[in-house]
Chain A
């Protein structure tokens, strides 16, 4: 089954404790992206990747890191999480030629206390 998976689905952590949210897709998609969703702000793109080893900043990259060492995986790293990073995070993937046809993951709800 074609899908985008994220882990964990829920996470409560404390300020400053490094964490990684994994994202994996099994559709051989070139384009992958991370978004955060906040009430009243909609979805905002954090980082995206056109292919392996190619990543670019989105609209709100501060406080986040990403890597794309393999085509199927695109982890989101928070080196020193802060409470303002409490949010619902979505990973998405698509074919490189059709980046708009994004397949979204189920979301990861992160709470930073």
Chain B
């Protein structure tokens, strides 16, 4: 069963515009949610995790348990934000299995 859904395969926004990458999950326990990013010619890397509630590179993501969502947001997109973004869930029951979404390719248009 798909545990993490990213409905948008491709997303384009203009520089300076707000951006939101959607992520929904299905999990019966208390999940840990993360966003990973892969910039062109770089390796996949952790962007942020819901527990830390921090802003990284201007991005934030809030876990909404009622809507089972973990959308990634940034108020003003920059060209360097163009990348592939993956939402991921870590099972807390077993502790260490990860489920990734299918990814959203973000393009910021100058």
Contacts and interface: CB of A to CB of B under 8 A. Distances in A.
Interface in B33-50: 34, 43-46, 49
A62 interface: no
B30 interface: no
B70 interface: no
Contacts of A56: 94, 96-97
Size class of the B contact interface (CB-based, 8 Å): 20 to 34
Contacts, number: 55
Contacts of A48: 96-98
B43 A99 contact: no
Nearest to A107: B43
A44 interface: yes
Size class of the A contact interface (CB-based, 8 Å): 20 to 34
Contacts of A106: 43
Interface stretch (B14-22, B60-68, B100-108): B100-108
Given A40-B102, A100-B90, A31 B96 contact: yes
Interface of B: 4, 6, 32, 34, 43-46, 49, 86, 88, 90, 94-103
